[in-house]
Structure 1
Amino acid sequence: MTISKHIINRFFLIILTLFTLSWFNTLFAQDANDGKQLFISKCQSCHSGDMKTDMTGPPLFGIEGQWEDKGKLHEWIRNNQKLIASGYPKAVEVSKLKPTAMQTFPDLTDPQIDAILKYIDEKGSGKLDAAKGTPAAGGEKSGEDTSQHPLLYGVITLILALAALILIFVNKNLKKISDDTEGKKTPDGIPFLQNKMYLATTAILLFIIGGYFTTKAMINMNRQKNYEPRQPIFYSHKVHAGINQINCLYCHGNAWESKTAAIPSVNVCMNCHKTIQKYNGPELKDKQGNPIDGSAEIAKLYQYAGFDPQNPDAWDPNKAKPIDWVKIHNLPDHVYFNHSQHVRVGNVQCQTCHGEITQMDEVHQFAELSMGWCVNCHRQTKVNFNVDSTSGNQFYSIYEKFHNDIKSGKMDSVTVKDIGGLECQKCHY
């Protein structure tokens, strides 16, 4: 075997090792991301995203240390009412902390609950923020961002590929010099631009690489992930839905009853701002970091409403003008999406599709809202088949086969795809 073949074999071995390491890094990052997504979809409607602020539900940081039996904690998360009814002391104690009963999550598996608890611990302790290069709890910074490892491996791979190519040409030239010294006659090599094998290989590689990036670009056309337009009024969801804990359905009540969530009218805003005329909350900043005068933004609302704060009793709501909000979430015209079917029937939390809305000042599009993204959700989301209780959806009683399969142990749960969630006509006109 020649030296050049040794070099090529080692080169491919290095590439395989780098891609394996990159895959493991992505896998571990996905595990952490799973915990975050589950927390957003299942927990964040009642519990604060920083794990330390008291909201509808208590702060969750340190919750594992508060339960002696982790198995009981899992039972509490799945069905707290059942655990309270059993008389378990810790469950009874926790149930008295808040007047609002905690929602049950019978569909969560042990690994999913562990992922949520891990995310709660890392978020509450500041480990996640430190991993992103932001100051940790102790005021120090962690300079490593593990999300950049795949990019680093890619750069190293290119450098090694270039080094291997150089070594191959050096080896070829040294062999030619050695043969000339020994008087051996070696045939002249074919120039690169005349070598059909080199040209064909290069053309195929360029076709594959170009096709990949072209396809990627075409697939992402008209997808607006992270789209964050400037709105006519700086409306902070962080202040309204986060700090002041205004329920999403107060402003977007249509999401409970109809296809669209709708934009609240000016008069809905004035229900509160007829009396709240000055902003006294935390400092507001736009995405560029420029300070925002909250009171001035309220004054803009008054212009649309035709409201004079000096003479509030003279206000005529019928003279209000609609605010020209810039639409953020857009679906193609041939796609059917019903908010009530997801929010009311499916009990899907707003954060599942819209992200940590309670932490956003200026709202941006959190998810790509692609067909693949929706289909994956339908494949993974379990439906509440417990029709024997008041919490179950009685419509699912017609699926007799699935109920029999669950009782016999053939199935442990039913997902949206099992009840037709992947059928084309469900989402396309």
Structure 2
Amino acid sequence: MSRYRKIFNRVFAFLVLFALASSTNNIFAQNGEALFKANCSSCHKVDKDFTGPMLKGARDREPDKEWAYKWVNNVNTMVETDPYAKALKAKWVSQMQQFNLKKDEIKAILDYADAPPVTPPPPPGGATQTEDNSLLFGILTLVLALIAFILLQVNSNLRKLTDDKEGVLRGEPVPVYKNKTYLMVAILVLFCVAGYFFTNAAIGLGRMKNYQPKQPIFYSHQVHAGTNQISCLYCHGGAQDSKHANIPSVNVCMNCHKGINKYEGPDALVREDGTAVNGTEEIQKLYEYAGFNAATKTYNPDKNNDGVPDGAYPIQWTKIHNLPDHVYFNHSQHVKVGKQQCQTCHGNIQEMPEVYQFADLSMGWCINCHRESKVDFYNKDDSTGNKFYSIYEKFHNDLKPDTIRDKYNNIKEIKKPKMDSVTVEKIGGTECQKCHY
């Protein structure tokens, strides 16, 4: 019986490990809905147009079935070379963020968009009913585990009866909490579960994607940058000329709001949670911070001669986009030299009633952008491009066709350029010291 017991224990351990591996595969399996919500939901809807086109039927509208797989990870390149990509940018104005997704992940997203889960109609009486099988699966798992444990005990008792009948003397059975097989399985389960959650927590450490704090004054970029078409650089002038974009001072706000003391926009102001906002009251808050009297349209007197109207104090805005202290990022380098749009990192800011962190701003996200973004070399012939890159003259020359002439200066041969484009990666944009002190 001892031999059979060893075989049984090995089979049991194998089944437990197989179930554990299956559950682990389920954890990491592609989930189209989760991938859609994590990467696409801020700009796309499944069944209707939003900031970008609806995803349902996207593969049918595209030039070929493989187009989407190339597009998602090569936006910066295709938007300049692919006719369909150019048409998309012309129609939707803004350019889609570039991702680094696997083909299986993109397929899962598109499959989910083409066949999203159908919400069942509410039952009679008006009560809503949602289908969630996680509780059922949990109960079934516990029942199966209990059955397996009972079978093990039955096997132990049968073995003891057989030994008594045959006169075989054996020691007392090993308690469950001392059984090496059980302990090994329990340790492996705990190790895998803890490792999964620890790894996810470590990867997301310090990232604040979708962070959306409540600000002291409700400021709608949708109204200012969207409806009223105010340039980002009017308020954040430092983004073009310095390392920091800068938060505008109260004086910048008052340049317009000395005369605009009411909100009369076409759309109602609403917070993310659906709460209505009184725009006129928010402007009054601005006046309190500025020390401005709306009735007389004058600032409060400066009786203490500190250069600030009495009662005025700075607005305590809550910073949203934060990078670690060991990361160097220069706004002017990206905006003025790299000619990147604000939307590249901040998303469609002109459509946000309340600003939130659009991208995770991880190292992989930045590196992927450097690998795809092309360098705008200065062209001496038509004086276009950026002189900042003049030190990389070698790369610029590699973009030109090589003309070979004979001794009479006649064109003998024209060779193709050595390179069709130069990305930021080629000029050292992925070297560690570029971003880390």
Residue equivalent to 1:86 = none
Looking at structure 2, the residues matched to 314 and 405 of structure 1 have their Cα atoms a distance apart, in angstroms, of: 59
* SS at structure 2 position matched to 1:296: helix
Letter in 2 for 1:260: H
Matched positions, count: 377
Mapped pair 1:398 → 2:392? yes
In structure 2, what residue type is equivalent to 1:382?
Answer: S
Is 2:431 the counterpart of 1:423?
A: yes
Q: Call closer, same or farther: CA 1:35–1:418 in 2, change over 3 Å.
A: farther
Aligned to 1:306: 291
Structure 1, unpaired ranges of 5+: 41-49, 54-58, 84-89, 136-140
Alignment partners' CA distance in 1, 2:174 and 2:220: 67
Pick the structure with greater CA Rg: 2
CA distances 1:141-196 after superposition (whole Å, capped 9, x unpaired): 9968xxx99xx59x95x767655543432222222333345435465321233345
Is the CA contact (8 Å cut-off) linking 2:367 and 2:430 kept in structure 1? yes
Residues 401/142 of structure 1: CA separation in 2 closer, same or farther (3 Å cut): farther
Q: In 1, distance between residues paired with 2:375 and 2:258?
A: 42
Determine if contact 1:384/1:392 at 8 Å carries over to the other structure.
no
Corresponding position of 1:327 = 319
Q: Deviations over 1:28-71 (max 9, x none)?
A: 8547866678x79xxxxxxxxx8468xxxxx8679x99x99948
- Picking from 364, 373, 383, the partner of 2:374 is 383
CA distance, structure 2, for counterparts of residue 24 and residue 258 of structure 1: 44
Q: Is contact 2:263-2:280 (8 Å) kept?
A: yes
C-alpha spacing 1:276/1:131, structure 2 compared with 1 (3 Å): farther
Identity of aligned pairs, percent? 39
Mapped pair 1:353 → 2:354: no
- Please tell me whether residue 173 in structure 1 is matched to residue 164 in structure 2: no
Q: Is the 8 A contact 1:232 1:325 kept in 2?
A: yes
TM-score (norm 2): 0.63
Query: Which shows bigger deviation, 357-366 or 251-260?
Result: 357-366
3-state SS of paired residue (1:301): helix
Deviations 1:309-353 (A, max 9, x none): 333377999746532222222333332111121223333332333
Q: Could you say which structure has the higher helix fraction?
A: 1
Q: Is 1:26 the equivalent of 2:17?
A: no
Q: How far is 1:256 from its partner?
A: 1.6
Aligned to 2:261: 277
* Structure 1 residues 332 and 132: alpha-carbon distance in aligned structure 2, compared to 1, 3 A threshold: farther
**181 and 286 in structure 1: CA distance in 2 versus 1, 3 angstrom threshold:** same
Structure 2 SS opposite 1:25: coil
**Relative to structure 1, is the Cα distance of residues 14 and 200 closer, same or farther in structure 2, using a 3 angstrom cutoff?**
closer
**Structure 2 portions without partners, runs of 5+:** 122-127, 302-306, 402-415
- Matching residue within 242, 248, 256 for 2:240: 256
Check conservation: 1:238, 1:357, Cα contact below 8 A. Answer: yes
Does the 8 Å contact 2:233/2:239 carry over to 1? yes
Task: Report the TM-score when normalising by structure 1.
Answer: 0.64
Residues 35 and 301 of structure 1: is their aligned pair in 2 closer, same or farther, counting only changes over 3 Å? closer
SS of residue matched to 2:292 = coil
Q: Which letter maps to 2:366?
A: C
Partners in 2 of 1:61 and 1:225 — Cα distance?
23
Mapped to 2, the partners of 1:313 and 1:200 lie a distance apart of: 77
Show the counterpart of 1:338.
330
Take 2:208 and 2:61, find their aligned partners in 1: how far apart are those partners?
Answer: 46
Structure 2 partner of 1:266:
250
Matches within 5 A, 1:139-178: 156=137, 162-163=142-143, 165-178=145-158
Letter in 1 for 2:425: K
